[in-house]
Structure 1
Amino acid sequence: MTTRANVNGEHTTHPSHYQTSHYSSSSSSSASFKGCCCCLFLLFTFLALLLIAVVLVILLVIKPKKPQFDLQQVGVQYIIVTAPSDGPTSAYLSLNISMIFTAVNPNKVGIKYSSSGFYVMYKGVPLGKATVPSFYQPANSVRTVETRVSVDKVDVMQANALDLVKDATLNDRVELSVTGEVGAKIRIIEITSPRVQVSVDCTIVISPRKQSLTYKQCGVDGVSV
């Protein structure tokens, strides 16, 4: 900064050449930084739109289909129903069964299944839960997954207890439901699609006397064993 006297003897202050160039350099750097950020933003936006367009084109080409996940077989190790001697106001059910599910992937790409749980219930009362771990299924393939439910003396109370004792001792048929959902995601070039829910809703009938499965129904088709 320099000070000079004018013709009247008054002193005026003028910014030095260094300060002027400093202000100009700062303004230029700020404009350059803003321009760089704008270019990066536009580049990332373009790449994101390009990726979305590629995925959409691939989806239109392969036409993904919903996978199938069904209860194929049920093996009965044992089923035991006991009631207190003072009257069936409650009943206890012990159960050990194995279940084999069949996963069908009709797509041209692989599917990633998340860990899932299936509930075994009697008249809406949960008895136990079977867990299927997560797994990957290749394209156009069929895979079997086995799981097991084992419960010990589950207390079924009140009206359901009366029905359970009657079903086990008189009718020799205990009807159970197996329900749950499987989360599946289609994988395309290391990119996973949004989660798709595959529901499982089956009815199985077990004979306590024979200790075996006598009926299985999933969806609309029933199979007698």
Structure 2
Amino acid sequence: MEVEKVNRSRNRTCCCIGTTICIIIATVILILILLFTVFKPKRPVMSFDSMSVKDLDVSFDITKLKVYLNLTIDVDLSIKNPNKAGFKYSNSSAFLNYRGQVVGEVPLPADQISAGETKAMNVSLTLLADRLLSNSDIYSDVKSGVVPLNTYVRLPGKVNMLGFKFHAVSTSSCDFTVYTSNRTMGDQSCQYKTKL
């Protein structure tokens, strides 16, 4: 009788342990399936929606072969977060470049984009004329009426999925031309990259 009770108790214990292990394994498998399907981290997508010349003043000093250029460009960006969780990005900057040289910079404060949200950002990039004084190409470019420029934005951040943090970096770079004679822009070519 006592042996049967001990055997029954052992069988119940083994059954409980087996059931518990099966539940744990099934839960882990379910979480992994969700992580790699529904909750799989996706790359935030940044795009330039529009760019326009806000302000442009040009003057020449023919005796010194110098040009004074004041330029402000309005840039409308959007960042789409396709994830099922928020994307939190760090402090960053938007840059205005002339022939590989940084000539303008605007800080982008840290923020968060909710799951599935598209966030619009409006940035005004001002060309800092003093940074062009040593550049010999600017005189001939402005005189020809065609100034090649580039905007560059890099947003590093994190996506938090079910307690796991995934790092993501979204970058965008746009080459364009400012026509000083009629204060317009053209020849825009943009590239977007995201690393997860």
**TM-score under structure 2 normalisation?**
0.71
Give the counterpart of 2:159 among 186, 189, 202. 186
Distance 1:54 1:194, change over 3 A: farther
Give the counterpart of 1:80 among 43, 48, 57. 57
Q: 1:126 maps to which residue?
A: 102
How far does residue 59 in structure 1 lie from its aligned partner after superposition?
Answer: 3.0
Structure 2: tracts of 5 or more residues without a match: 1-28
| Aligned mates of 2:68, 2:130 — CA distance in 1 | 5
Counterparts of 1:26-45 in structure 2 under 5 Å? none
How far does residue 211 in structure 1 lie from its aligned partner after superposition?
Answer: 1.4
RMSD after superposition: 2.7
Secondary structure at the counterpart of residue 59 of structure 1: helix
Q: Letter of the 1:216 partner, please give it.
A: Q
- Quick check: 78-87 or 94-103, which moved more? 78-87
**Kept in 1: contact 2:96–2:127 (CA 8 A):** no
1:167 and 2:141 are equivalent in the alignment: yes
How far does residue 186 in structure 1 lie from its aligned partner after superposition?
Answer: 0.6
Q: 1:65 maps to which residue?
A: 42
**Kept in 1: contact 2:156–2:168 (CA 8 A):** yes
Q: Letter of the 1:167 partner, please give it.
A: D
Aligned pair count reads: 164
| Aligned mates of 2:113, 2:90 — CA distance in 1 | 11
Q: Letter of the 1:173 partner, please give it.
A: V
**Kept in 2: contact 1:93–1:154 (CA 8 A):** no
Secondary structure at the counterpart of residue 165 of structure 1: helix
Distance 1:81 1:195, change over 3 A: farther
**TM-score under structure 1 normalisation?**
0.63
Secondary structure at the counterpart of residue 66 of structure 1: coil
Structure 1: tracts of 5 or more residues without a match: 1-52, 221-225
1:105-164 C-alpha deviation (Å, 9 max, x unpaired): 122222112221021111112111022222221222222111112245334245x43x32
1:14-59 C-alpha deviation (Å, 9 max, x unpaired): xxxxxxxxxxxxxxxxxxxxxxxxxxxxxxxxxxxxxxx9986653
Q: Letter of the 1:123 partner, please give it.
A: R
1:219 and 2:191 are equivalent in the alignment: yes
Identity %: 21
Distance 1:152 1:198, change over 3 A: closer
Q: 1:17 maps to which residue?
A: none
How far does residue 207 in structure 1 lie from its aligned partner after superposition?
Answer: 1.4
| Aligned mates of 1:127, 1:218 — CA distance in 2 | 19
Instruction: Considering Cα pairs closer than 8 Å and 6+ residues apart, tell me whether 1 or 2 has the greater RCO.
Output: 2
**Kept in 1: contact 2:58–2:68 (CA 8 A):** yes
Distance 1:74 1:186, change over 3 A: same
